Amino acid sequence: MSLAWKMTVTVVLFAVAAVAAVVLIVNLLGTPPTVDFTSGSQGQPVNVTLQAVGTYGSGSHPTWVSYLVESPQGQWVHTTVFQVPQHVRVNVTIINYDSGSPLRNQQLGQVSGTYGNAALLNGKAFRVIDSNSGNGVAHTFSIPSLGVNVPLYGNNSNANLCGAAPCTTSSPHKVIRFSFTTPGPGSYRWQCFVPCGLGFLYGNGGPMSTLGYMGGFMQVTA
Protein backbone atom coordinates (compact mmCIF):
# COMPACT_ATOMS: atom_id res chain seq x y z
CA MET A 1 0.00 0.00 0.00
CA SER A 2 1.45 3.32 -1.01
CA LEU A 3 1.79 6.19 1.43
CA ALA A 4 -0.80 8.18 -0.53
CA TRP A 5 -3.31 5.34 -0.13
CA LYS A 6 -2.61 5.00 3.59
CA MET A 7 -3.14 8.74 3.97
CA THR A 8 -6.39 8.61 2.01
CA VAL A 9 -7.76 5.65 3.99
CA THR A 10 -6.79 7.33 7.27
CA VAL A 11 -8.47 10.59 6.31
CA VAL A 12 -11.66 8.81 5.12
CA LEU A 13 -11.88 6.68 8.28
CA PHE A 14 -11.34 9.75 10.42
CA ALA A 15 -14.07 11.64 8.56
CA VAL A 16 -16.52 8.73 9.00
CA ALA A 17 -15.75 8.57 12.73
CA ALA A 18 -16.21 12.34 13.08
CA VAL A 19 -19.59 12.27 11.33
CA ALA A 20 -20.71 9.32 13.48
CA ALA A 21 -19.71 11.21 16.63
CA VAL A 22 -21.66 14.31 15.57
CA VAL A 23 -24.79 12.25 14.74
CA LEU A 24 -24.57 10.51 18.13
CA ILE A 25 -24.18 13.79 20.04
CA VAL A 26 -27.09 15.45 18.17
CA ASN A 27 -29.26 12.42 18.95
CA LEU A 28 -28.32 12.44 22.62
CA LEU A 29 -28.92 16.18 22.97
CA GLY A 30 -32.07 16.21 20.85
CA THR A 31 -34.57 16.86 23.61
CA PRO A 32 -38.18 17.29 22.48
CA PRO A 33 -39.81 20.69 23.12
CA THR A 34 -41.69 21.56 26.32
CA VAL A 35 -45.38 22.50 26.14
CA ASP A 36 -46.15 25.13 28.77
CA PHE A 37 -49.45 25.02 30.71
CA THR A 38 -48.37 27.41 33.47
CA SER A 39 -49.53 30.73 32.03
CA GLY A 40 -53.17 30.38 33.20
CA SER A 41 -54.49 32.17 36.29
CA GLN A 42 -52.99 31.03 39.59
CA GLY A 43 -54.50 28.01 41.27
CA GLN A 44 -56.95 27.28 38.47
CA PRO A 45 -57.29 23.76 37.04
CA VAL A 46 -55.16 23.03 34.00
CA ASN A 47 -56.43 21.03 31.02
CA VAL A 48 -53.84 18.81 29.34
CA THR A 49 -54.72 16.90 26.16
CA LEU A 50 -52.57 14.14 24.70
CA GLN A 51 -53.01 11.69 21.86
CA ALA A 52 -51.50 8.23 21.47
CA VAL A 53 -50.85 6.95 17.96
CA GLY A 54 -49.89 3.48 16.70
CA THR A 55 -47.37 4.84 14.18
CA TYR A 56 -46.05 8.38 14.13
CA GLY A 57 -45.95 8.21 10.33
CA SER A 58 -43.11 10.64 9.53
CA GLY A 59 -39.74 11.91 10.74
CA SER A 60 -36.81 9.73 11.77
CA HIS A 61 -38.96 6.92 13.24
CA PRO A 62 -42.18 6.76 11.18
CA THR A 63 -43.10 3.24 12.43
CA TRP A 64 -42.82 4.01 16.15
CA VAL A 65 -45.74 4.41 18.52
CA SER A 66 -45.93 7.82 20.10
CA TYR A 67 -47.67 10.26 22.37
CA LEU A 68 -48.26 13.88 21.31
CA VAL A 69 -49.20 16.90 23.43
CA GLU A 70 -51.71 19.56 22.37
CA SER A 71 -50.50 23.06 23.13
CA PRO A 72 -52.87 25.57 24.83
CA GLN A 73 -53.09 27.18 21.37
CA GLY A 74 -54.45 23.92 19.93
CA GLN A 75 -51.34 22.79 18.02
CA TRP A 76 -50.25 19.14 18.25
CA VAL A 77 -46.61 18.98 19.33
CA HIS A 78 -44.45 15.86 18.98
CA THR A 79 -43.22 15.75 22.54
CA THR A 80 -43.78 14.09 25.91
CA VAL A 81 -42.50 17.00 28.00
CA PHE A 82 -44.98 19.44 29.51
CA GLN A 83 -45.00 22.00 32.28
CA VAL A 84 -47.78 22.55 34.84
CA PRO A 85 -48.11 24.66 38.02
CA GLN A 86 -47.70 23.14 41.49
CA HIS A 87 -50.70 22.15 43.63
CA VAL A 88 -53.38 22.49 40.97
CA ARG A 89 -55.91 20.07 39.55
CA VAL A 90 -54.81 18.73 36.18
CA ASN A 91 -57.62 17.45 33.95
CA VAL A 92 -56.07 15.05 31.46
CA THR A 93 -57.75 14.00 28.22
CA ILE A 94 -56.04 11.29 26.18
CA ILE A 95 -57.33 10.45 22.72
CA ASN A 96 -56.11 6.97 21.91
CA TYR A 97 -55.91 6.02 18.23
CA ASP A 98 -54.01 2.73 18.70
CA SER A 99 -55.16 -0.87 18.99
CA GLY A 100 -54.60 -2.88 22.15
CA SER A 101 -53.55 -6.29 23.43
CA PRO A 102 -53.69 -8.32 26.65
CA LEU A 103 -51.41 -6.93 29.36
CA ARG A 104 -48.47 -9.03 30.56
CA ASN A 105 -48.98 -7.48 33.98
CA GLN A 106 -52.68 -7.27 34.89
CA GLN A 107 -51.90 -4.71 37.62
CA LEU A 108 -51.46 -2.11 34.86
CA GLY A 109 -55.15 -2.49 33.99
CA GLN A 110 -56.00 -0.83 37.31
CA VAL A 111 -56.59 2.93 37.55
CA SER A 112 -54.75 4.56 40.46
CA GLY A 113 -53.59 7.93 41.70
CA THR A 114 -56.46 9.85 40.07
CA TYR A 115 -59.53 11.52 41.59
CA GLY A 116 -61.68 8.67 42.91
CA ASN A 117 -59.08 6.21 41.63
CA ALA A 118 -61.20 6.25 38.49
CA ALA A 119 -61.15 7.53 34.92
CA LEU A 120 -63.68 8.01 32.14
CA LEU A 121 -63.70 5.93 28.97
CA ASN A 122 -65.82 7.70 26.36
CA GLY A 123 -67.65 9.37 29.25
CA LYS A 124 -68.20 6.19 31.30
CA ALA A 125 -66.42 5.81 34.64
CA PHE A 126 -64.11 2.82 35.10
CA ARG A 127 -61.56 1.62 37.61
CA VAL A 128 -60.07 -1.33 35.82
CA ILE A 129 -59.78 -2.70 32.30
CA ASP A 130 -59.71 -6.45 31.83
CA SER A 131 -57.28 -6.50 28.94
CA ASN A 132 -58.00 -10.17 28.21
CA SER A 133 -61.40 -9.27 26.82
CA GLY A 134 -62.49 -6.79 24.16
CA ASN A 135 -59.81 -4.77 22.38
CA GLY A 136 -57.24 -4.99 25.19
CA VAL A 137 -55.05 -2.16 26.46
CA ALA A 138 -53.04 -0.02 24.02
CA HIS A 139 -50.86 2.02 26.37
CA THR A 140 -50.79 3.34 29.90
CA PHE A 141 -50.27 6.87 31.20
CA SER A 142 -48.27 6.37 34.37
CA ILE A 143 -46.39 8.66 36.75
CA PRO A 144 -44.73 6.11 39.06
CA SER A 145 -43.55 8.59 41.71
CA LEU A 146 -47.14 9.88 42.15
CA GLY A 147 -48.81 6.48 41.96
CA VAL A 148 -50.72 7.54 38.84
CA ASN A 149 -51.62 4.76 36.40
CA VAL A 150 -54.33 4.87 33.75
CA PRO A 151 -54.75 2.13 31.13
CA LEU A 152 -55.87 3.24 27.66
CA TYR A 153 -58.44 0.91 26.16
CA GLY A 154 -57.54 -0.10 22.59
CA ASN A 155 -59.40 0.31 19.32
CA ASN A 156 -60.45 -2.66 17.21
CA SER A 157 -57.27 -3.67 15.34
CA ASN A 158 -59.36 -4.53 12.24
CA ALA A 159 -60.65 -0.97 12.00
CA ASN A 160 -59.09 1.55 9.63
CA LEU A 161 -56.76 3.05 12.24
CA CYS A 162 -54.89 6.33 11.86
CA GLY A 163 -51.29 5.72 10.74
CA ALA A 164 -49.83 9.23 10.69
CA ALA A 165 -49.81 11.83 13.47
CA PRO A 166 -51.38 14.12 14.32
CA CYS A 167 -54.52 12.02 14.08
CA THR A 168 -57.97 13.59 14.02
CA THR A 169 -61.15 12.32 15.58
CA SER A 170 -62.41 11.25 12.14
CA SER A 171 -60.27 8.11 12.77
CA PRO A 172 -61.39 5.43 15.25
CA HIS A 173 -60.47 6.55 18.77
CA LYS A 174 -61.16 6.21 22.47
CA VAL A 175 -61.32 9.21 24.81
CA ILE A 176 -59.89 8.66 28.29
CA ARG A 177 -60.23 11.39 30.92
CA PHE A 178 -59.00 11.66 34.51
CA SER A 179 -57.73 14.22 37.01
CA PHE A 180 -55.03 14.44 39.63
CA THR A 181 -53.42 17.16 41.73
CA THR A 182 -49.86 18.23 41.01
CA PRO A 183 -47.30 17.95 43.83
CA GLY A 184 -44.60 20.49 44.64
CA PRO A 185 -42.02 21.64 42.10
CA GLY A 186 -39.89 19.05 40.37
CA SER A 187 -39.45 17.00 37.27
CA TYR A 188 -41.68 13.91 37.35
CA ARG A 189 -41.02 11.05 34.96
CA TRP A 190 -44.12 9.66 33.21
CA GLN A 191 -44.33 6.83 30.74
CA CYS A 192 -46.29 4.02 29.16
CA PHE A 193 -45.76 0.64 30.82
CA VAL A 194 -47.06 -1.52 27.98
CA PRO A 195 -43.97 -2.91 26.22
CA CYS A 196 -45.12 -1.44 22.92
CA GLY A 197 -41.73 -1.01 21.24
CA LEU A 198 -42.52 -3.49 18.47
CA GLY A 199 -39.39 -5.15 17.05
CA PHE A 200 -37.17 -4.24 20.03
CA LEU A 201 -35.91 -6.53 22.79
CA TYR A 202 -38.90 -7.47 25.00
CA GLY A 203 -40.72 -4.50 23.40
CA ASN A 204 -38.89 -2.11 25.72
CA GLY A 205 -36.46 -0.44 23.29
CA GLY A 206 -37.00 2.16 20.59
CA PRO A 207 -40.05 4.32 21.41
CA MET A 208 -40.18 2.94 24.97
CA SER A 209 -36.72 4.26 25.75
CA THR A 210 -36.66 7.44 23.66
CA LEU A 211 -37.85 10.75 25.07
CA GLY A 212 -40.74 12.16 23.00
CA TYR A 213 -42.40 8.82 22.18
CA MET A 214 -43.63 6.62 25.06
CA GLY A 215 -42.21 8.53 27.99
CA GLY A 216 -41.31 12.00 29.13
CA PHE A 217 -41.41 14.45 31.97
CA MET A 218 -44.08 16.47 33.75
CA GLN A 219 -42.27 19.56 34.96
CA VAL A 220 -44.03 21.10 37.95
CA THR A 221 -43.14 24.73 38.59
CA ALA A 222 -43.53 26.93 41.65
> Of 95, 194, 218, 220, which one interacts with Cu ion (CB under 5 A)?
194
Instruction: Give the separation between CA 137 and CA 127, rounded to whole angstroms.
Output: 13
> Of 55, 80, 139, 217, which one interacts with Cu ion (CB under 5 A)?
139
User: Contact region for Cu ion (CB under 5 A) — 29-37, 70-78, 148-156, 207-215?
Assistant: 207-215
| Interaction of residue 137 with Cu ion, rule CB under 5 A | no
| Interaction of residue 220 with Cu ion, rule CB under 5 A | no
* Backbone φ and ψ of 197, nearest 5°: -80, 75
> Of 46, 94, 161, 214, which one interacts with Cu ion (CB under 5 A)?
214
Query: Closer CB to Cu ion, residue 67 or residue 88?
Result: 67
State the first-to-last Cα distance of the chain, in angstroms, to the nearest integer. 66
Nearest C-alpha neighbor of 152 from the set 71, 81, 67: 67
Neighbours of 184 (CB within 10 A): 8
> Of 84, 196, 218, 220, which one interacts with Cu ion (CB under 5 A)?
196
Nearest C-alpha neighbor of 194 from the set 146, 148, 120, 131: 131
> Of 69, 92, 192, 220, which one interacts with Cu ion (CB under 5 A)?
192
| Interaction of residue 165 with Cu ion, rule CB under 5 A | no
Instruction: Give the separation between CA 52 and CA 203, rounded to whole angstroms.
Output: 17
Instruction: Give the separation between CA 219 and CA 185, rounded to whole angstroms.
Output: 7
| Interaction of residue 94 with Cu ion, rule CB under 5 A | no
Positions in the binding site for Cu ion (CB under 5 A): 139, 192, 194, 196, 214
